[in-house]
Structure 1
Amino acid sequence: MNQSFSEHFKSKFWLKHVLYWTAFVLFFGFVWGVSDDNYLRNILIQICCLPSRMLLVYVTLFYLFPKFFNQKKYFSFFVSYCVLVALISVFVQRPLFLYFIQPNFLPGFKNSGFFILSEIVNTALDINIAAMIPIAYTYLTTIENLQKNNSELNEENKLLKEDSVIQDNNDESYINLKIDKSVRKIKINDIVFVESLRNYCRIKLNDSEITVLKTLTSIQELLPESKFVRIHRSFLINKDNITSVSPSKIEINHMTIPVGRKYKDEVKKKMLLVDF
């Protein structure tokens, strides 16, 4: 995932950006200076062109990459990038060149017009040069991070079998649930009830409780139907821990849980209750 600009700044990543733009200006200033031996003028021209080039680079890195490329919308990323290059070329770089750079640094330069296609294409290619290295670096970093994350996930699933039910040598059943960055082995018989807390679930055990980033339905699918009953949209209980039952509520582990209207028939069927 790409960091925001503020996060880059706080982590002193900005220093790399300063070094990059300094090297870019000096390199192309000297390259173009070879042709007329006026290195200072060409360095100043490169500095004057920085606004359009930096605009292209940072809009691409901090908007187009997160919005399109990281979401695997590669065609949308390509089209958006081309549109961005065209807009910056016409509305930023062309006016900057014609009304500031040319009069001050290139008075003898003959320009054929503002909206001449060949001039716009040359301008687009010129500002695009500055974006090649940052975009290539971000692309390679993104791909590397994706591969690393996939590798870690595959390794974790292979070794720990997250979200699985296992049986040990003593015929005890367990489930593996990911908690933070580890996977915890939980004995099914120790589960008293599971409570939904929106995207999280609180699992009450005999001697403790844990919170996991899972839905109640996903946990219910891991537990045996013969032992666990859904009595409310927010509660899944272990029948073995029930102490009392009434038409509207169930007491379990000194806690009273209401029976949802939608679940009364299921409770009646699985717990052999009389008609409510």
Structure 2
Amino acid sequence: MSIQAFLTNLILRHQFKRAGRGPLNVQKARYMVNKMAKRAPPLPKDIRHTPVPARPDQQLCGAEWLSADQPQRTIVYFHGGGYFFCGLDTHRPVAGYLARVAQARVLSVDYRMAPEHVFPAAVDDAVSWWQQLLRDGTSPTEVLFAGDSAGGGLALACMVAARDRGLPLPAGAILFSPWTDLSCSGDTMRTLADVDVMFNPASLPEAAALYLNGQPTNTPLASPLFADLRGLPPLMIHASTHEILLDDSQRLHSRAQQQGVRSELHLKAKMPHVWPTMLLLPEARETLKHCGEFARQVTPNRAPTP
């Protein structure tokens, strides 16, 4: 573990986890992460940033493109945040870094969030953008989905929904600590409660309730761990052995393999939840380069339509 990771764990435990005690405060959480996002370094000059305004008449939420020079593939990225906070600003650094290491153009999707917009709004937004890319002539064989935490679950749910609607699927998916079980029934929710430096276990059922708005916690498109995964493309899953959502990744990996889906699970000890999104960590940059290699393996080397 790097010194940067050691210090990050200390800061998260004494600031983020402590601040998360007690009832869920949506506005406070949004304020905290937006304040942190303002301190993020600017995008590298070789990454082109193009905002995309929402188009309600076409059922498209806002988004933005982060593109490397001469991109060879497309990545659709769904940010994490428990379906109620974070956004384009908070995840612009990781989306931009992915664009560089994967030689890609990355579409970061600003899907609607709870409590203002409850399930299935996020899934609808994800599928609408996928349909739009297909209408624009993007070949699904040149596309990967990616996401962290709730965004990882959303990437998975979007693929399940797309398959069930008869839409083509992307060539693969990269998932960072995906939240796949909104029933919060994994054993590590309890066994790793003390060592997890970010989350108090009680906060996740609260976030799930905001998003689900009365729907069952095992609804497949909200908790894709319980979905039929057959026919999905290869998955690359990264998680920490010291996070309460570890079981969400382990059970997803096992279930995917049982249903004939190629899946690889990469675990790293003593790292915080969604650590690949934390670019100050050398472990994050190393892992994202590994993700770039995965992207090149599962997609052909051909530039997508601009």
TM-score after normalising by structure 2: 0.22
Structure with the larger helix share: 1
**Structure number, greater radius of gyration:** 1
Greater relative contact order structure (CA < 8 Å, 6+ sep): 2
TM-score after normalising by structure 1: 0.24
Structure with the larger strand share: 1
